[in-house]
A and B are shown apart, each in its own frame.
Chain A
């Protein structure tokens, strides 16, 4: 692997003590530590050590330029340009079939696994195009993790092995102690440690749906990605589990960049700092109608269609 091996993980990570990370937090304003001294949000907080790896201490942002996508002859995305600021949560909203999920899957090169899928444009991770010729998709995907709509823990693995599976899959060798530590750290980050600490050997499928989803988040975090993509992570969950996942997202804010697709307007408002509204009609491919700070998109939308959508007047 060209990526730095996982070595020497200091016990403290993120904001505060690990033990505090699972305490119930108010919904959104977590991660306030990462707001700059003068109240402005930092795009690249140099002093934020993500998981304590000095090499990766700089948060990476994601930017797309003129991304279009096709399935066969059908065009589904039209010249989407969007900047997802580092360390923040960006929500992608819009009605079904407007290309949000396709866009999300383009970001970590999952789009190309679909037969007949094509795309154009640039996806810049830290200024470097992930579609640059010669760049390995596996390396891109390790840096840009993904959580899916339905929880999908590996059924043949225990909870612990599920969390550590990314190391195995990416071919990263660690010692037993480092592995144990990584499992605990990742589970704490995902807010699941207290619930599963006593049964790490149980199969991942034995957890409830919400716990499974947080297990999948922990699994994604264990390979220390720069970006975490979430494709409607709560749509298969009940309100309680949804709240736990949202708390997890709030706690992760500032530690890495999160892009979340959601159909739930309240959720988008609660968890995200910036927001992009996608829209497609039956004869035009999906495109961004409006994007900006969540506050602005929801309360002072510039476009009438955005206003209609966020206020539930259509879609």
Chain B
């Protein structure tokens, strides 16, 4: 009999006494200690620390006493270079050349990562500290700028109209750009043919399109030629122009990652090309497609110049994107941060903070909505599967009768305490059987 065919309940209980004739069991001495694999040793830490401290001292001497330079940036840069040299020297004392080079590369990689992280943290921290002044007052998130003069105190006025405008414009742009972008990606990767290459070149060129040109394009076509007023809708069209190439490029990459064997399997089942794309390719690439959409949204929500030319400006709430001027958060920031009034600058920074929060919320939502990798189970699926496995562990005859079930089940499955069903299990299993 194969192990595949063996029911899980037949597995020997882990605590079973050793049967005569079996191999002698090792003497149990408490739980096993797990070996520590990888990680850092004391030497690693001290080498890095030593190099840091030593290079700092040398850097101070050079900068303050020897070299005719000054300035924080040069000091830090010089410190970093001296640190690398020092680390190499210290490493060379302990390890061989190959090993030191290996470690040097990893130190450079780590420090680059730390630099990027530091810069991001610095940006967010700076905006947060400047924006806190206005954002700490609740009115910033409930009021518009309609009744706020330029010298009004910070406790009046807010950016709720800009948040509404941003969300509406982004929503419309996503609505236009995502179907177009994914359709274009499907065309390039699935249909292909002679036209795929020019389309790809065009999309690549559009990725590099300066955003002000997108604004000018919509200004020229929609507003000047067709005579529409500046509005949130026109702004969302300009954002679509910015968003679409990014969605297309990213979507094409993830669609290409779907294994060709899956397409073959689908065709071998009699699937047409369209059904294969819809039922097999896109669901398999779902997680990557969500990332593509999120990338496009991230690009669009922060764009200022397309919006600048197409949305107009208003200090009032305008929830209708199709009529009248509508402001968005980037435009709000751009408009107020240049004013020579402290309260206005503070409001602009608070709006920047809000913009970051909006982006974060959008990202998290998108991840939750569609971020599961293909084949990974949702929590609901996992729960259902666990239930089904519990049910499978219960011997069938025990299931139907509810009253006698606990007794019957505990008699029938005494081998392993882990699989002994709870009193409610037979009832659940009966329900589940009805589902199938």
By the criterion CB–CB under 8 Å, are A141 and B267 in contact? yes
Known: A155-B284, A205-B375, A240-B4. A199 touches B264 (CB 8 A): no
Binds A, one of B41-49, B62-70, B204-212, B381-389: B381-389
CB of A145 within 8 A of chain B? yes
By the criterion CB–CB under 8 Å, are B388 and A169 in contact? no
By the criterion CB–CB under 8 Å, are A108 and B375 in contact? no
Report the Cα distance A195→B280, complex, angstroms: 25
What residues of chain B lie closer than 8 Å to A210, measured between beta carbons? 4
By the criterion CB–CB under 8 Å, are A166 and B269 in contact? yes
Binds B, one of A31-39, A43-51, A53-61, A215-223: A215-223
Report the Cα distance A110→B322, complex, angstroms: 51
Known: A199-B388, A201-B385. A154 touches B284 (CB 8 A): yes
Q: Can you name 26 A-B residue pairings with CB atoms under 8 Å?
A: A108-B268, A137-B267, A141-B269, A142-B270, A145-B269, A148-B268, A152-B265, A154-B266, A155-B284, A155-B375, A156-B280, A156-B374, A165-B279, A168-B279, A169-B279, A180-B436, A195-B4, A198-B391, A198-B392, A205-B375, A206-B375, A210-B4, A216-B265, A220-B269, A240-B3, A244-B2
CB of B54 within 8 A of chain A? no
What residues of chain A lie closer than 8 Å to B381, measured between beta carbons? 158, 201-202
CB of A265 within 8 A of chain B? no
What residues of chain B lie closer than 8 Å to A205, measured between beta carbons? 375
CB-based closest 9 A-B pairs: A142-B270, A169-B271, A198-B392, A156-B283, A155-B375, A146-B268, A156-B374, A166-B269, A203-B375
CB of A200 within 8 A of chain B? yes
What residues of chain B lie closer than 8 Å to A4, measured between beta carbons? none
Q: Taking chain A's interface residues, is the majority helix, strand, or loop, or is none over half, making it mixed?
A: helix
What residues of chain B lie closer than 8 Å to A24, measured between beta carbons? 5
Report the Cα distance A195→B269, complex, angstroms: 24
By the criterion CB–CB under 8 Å, are B389 and A244 in contact? no
What residues of chain A lie closer than 8 Å to B280, measured between beta carbons? 154, 156, 165, 169
Report the Cα distance A182→B388, complex, angstroms: 20
Tell me the nearest residue of chain A to B387, going by C-beta: A198
By the criterion CB–CB under 8 Å, are A138 and B271 in contact? yes
- CB-defined interface of B278-305 with A at 8 Å, one 1/0 digit per residue? 0110011010000000000000000000
Report the Cα distance A204→B384, complex, angstroms: 15
Which of B268, B375, B385 contacts A220 (CB under 8 A)? Answer: B268
What residues of chain A lie closer than 8 Å to B271, measured between beta carbons? 138, 166, 169-170
By the criterion CB–CB under 8 Å, are B284 and A203 in contact? no
CB of B262 within 8 A of chain A? yes
CB of A73 within 8 A of chain B? no
Nearest chain B CB to A213 CB, angstrom units: 12
- CB-defined interface of B405-436 with A at 8 Å, one 1/0 digit per residue? 00000000000000000000000000000001
By the criterion CB–CB under 8 Å, are A113 and B392 in contact? no
